[in-house]
Amino acid sequence: MQREDEFIDRRDLFLARTPTDLQQYRKDIHAQLEANSEWRKAARAKSGIFKRYVEELIPFSHFCSWKYADRADVWCRLVDGTVGGDCIVVEGEPPQEHCVEITWPIDGKWDARQRQLVNETGCSEVEVWDIDDVTLQSAAVTRVIEAAKKKARRDYRAPGGSTLIFVLDMTLFWSDFPQHRDLFARLRQELSHIPMLVDEVLLMTFFGEEVKIFPVPGNRFNVSRLGIAPQRM
């Protein structure tokens, strides 16, 4: 069995890139995975370095494209380690580091089981539920809210600013179902009521290849880039 680092060079994964180059790097990796079934299975299982590619680089790339577009004076990279956030964006003169933390609350056991089934059989479990049963959707919303409450205990402030991203897989949510729309609206509202020590909070949703980013308003604490003491907004 080939090692994951034979497919993704660790040095490349943590290389600083412009938003445009980072997006292209993500697309190149995706195209290579589509062409190699064994590596595709490893990525789906989040094996080894693929875990950071799936859970961090993919959403980080979308964030950088959304926030900075095609700017060539911005450098984006994953952090090689666990200290100081998941990712860093360097911009400005003198250069300032904007810290980015990405949180993807999931039911770990269920998620691992579905990924294993797809790798082994080509499909995940088929679940049938009543149209009015929103148990699974409510659980997904609750996981994000509980994760936000935990994040509220930490200080993410940084001189160059900070962003906290919550990622939600929308596979279980159907836009034409009022109950599902109401749950999503409740999630956005409850997130806005949780004060956090961070400049910016975003909710990022994935539905297949479709990605949407929703700024979350609310109580935020900022560190001035001019060195002024933190102020509550």
Domain ranges of the chain: 1-91, 98-233
Phi, then psi, of 180 in degrees rounded to 5: -70, -40
pLDDT band at 209; cut points 50, 70, 90: confident
Q: pLDDT for 34-61, tens place per residue?
A: 887 777 777 666 667 888 888 899 999 9
- The winner for highest mean pLDDT among 92-96, 157-161, 173-177, 210-214 is 210-214
68 token code pair: 């900075």
Distance CA 137, CA 178 (A): 12
Distance CA 19, CA 57 (A): 12
Q: pLDDT for 126-160, tens place per residue?
A: 565 667 788 889 999 999 999 999 999 999 988 89
Q: Is the pLDDT of residue 164 over 80?
A: yes
Least confident of 32-41, 102-111, 137-146, 220-229: 220-229
Contact between 105 and 166 under an 8 Å Cβ cutoff? The reply is yes
13 token code pair: 């994964």
Q: What's the chain look like in SS3?
A: CCCHHHCCCHHHHCCCECHHHHHHHHHHHHHHHHCCHHHHHHHHCCCCCHHHHHHHHHHHHHHHHHHHCCCCCCEEEECCCCCCCCEEEEECCCCEEEEEEEECCCCHHHHHHHHHHHHHHCCCCCCCCCCCCCHHHHHHHHHHHHHHHHHCCCECCCCCCEEEEEEEECCCCCCCCHHHHHHHHHHHHHHHCCCEECCEEEEEEEECCEEEEEECCCCEEECCCCCCCCEEC
Percentage, residues of the chain above pLDDT 70:
76
Q: Estimate to the nearest angstrom the gap between the alpha carbon of 104 and the chain centroid.
A: 6
Distance CA 178, CA 182 (A): 6
